[in-house]
Structures are given as C-alpha cells and as structure tokens.
C-alpha cells in the first residue's frame, strides 16, 4: 500500500517525528521510522489518517500484523495500544528507561512490541544520561 507524500508528511508531523508507541524521537534512532497501519490492510484497515501512526522501526517490526496480544501479567487477551483512539499516558508510564504498562493494553503492547528488551533499554538509558529523553510532553 503506497501512501502519498502529503499523507506521510501529515503522519510524521502529527507525531512530532516520535514513535507513537515508545516515544523514541527519530533524531536519536538510526533506523528510519515507518508509517504503521494500526489495523493492517489485510484486516480491512485503510490508509487514512485515522488508521495511521508513526512507529519506530523496532516497534513496527514487532507489531507486524497484530492488533492484539496476551497480557504478560494475567494471561488475558488484550488489544494493542491504538495511538489514534487511546491516550498514551493512561496506558504507559516511564520508570527510568523502562516503559511500564498501567493497563492490560499497555502491558500487552510493551511485551509484544518488545519495548523493554535490553538493547532498547540501554539506548534509552544513554539518552536519559544525555538529557534528551524522554521529551517533555507536548501540551
Ligand atoms: Zn517505538
């Protein structure tokens, strides 16, 4: 599915050039971020602003075609965080370089997208030391 240059630009700008899942800014990640279909095309998700999010390569790669997963705490099924319909701060909180899920949806997303694997935590710890992450919340 190819997206127009204008639509891509809209998605990047709306996200402030940060991953809408793990909040990593593109400026501090060597892998180019991607426009994610929140609901994949194969499931009927359309290439429209309401179904698109900016995701870092790692989050997008692990998310793949999934829209749901298993909560690692209680084993229940849960939908993944939806950047268009869910409020980030309601589902996640930073504990230093670790991203904690506050809800079943948050925990499931952290687990499936492997947001707390070692090299990603080390990378964030480095950026915290440099004082450039996490970015202060926009409004
Ligand atoms: Zn990410």
Domain boundaries, the chain: 5-129
Digit-coded pLDDT (tens) for 69-98 = 999 999 999 999 999 999 999 999 999 999
Separation of 57 CA from ligand 1 center, angstroms?
A: 7
Asked if residue 11 has pLDDT above 50, the reply is: yes
Q: Is the pLDDT of residue 139 over 50?
A: no
Cα separation, 76 vs 22, in Å, equals 22
Q: How far away, in angstroms, is 32 Cα from ligand 1 center? A: 11
**Per-residue confidence (pLDDT) for residue 94, from 0 to 100:** 97
């Amino acid at each position: 599915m190819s997206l127009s240059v204008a639509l891509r630009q809209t998605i990047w700008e709306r996200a402030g050039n940060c991953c809408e899942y793990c909040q990593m800014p593109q400026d501090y990640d060597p892998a180019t971020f991607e426009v994610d279909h929140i609901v994949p095309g194969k499931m009927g998700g359309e290439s429209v602003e309401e179904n698109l999010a900016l995701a870092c390569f790692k989050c997008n790669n692990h998310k793949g075609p999934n829209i749901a997963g298993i909560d690692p705490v209680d084993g229940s099924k849960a939908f993944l965080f939806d950047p268009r319909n869910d409020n980030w701060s309601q589902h996640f909180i930073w504990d230093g370089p670790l991203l904690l899920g506050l809800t079943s949806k948050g925990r499931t997303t952290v687990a499936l997208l492997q947001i707390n694997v070692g090299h990603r935590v080390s990378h964030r710890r480095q950026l915290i030391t440099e004082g450039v992450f996490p970015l202060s919340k926009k409004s």
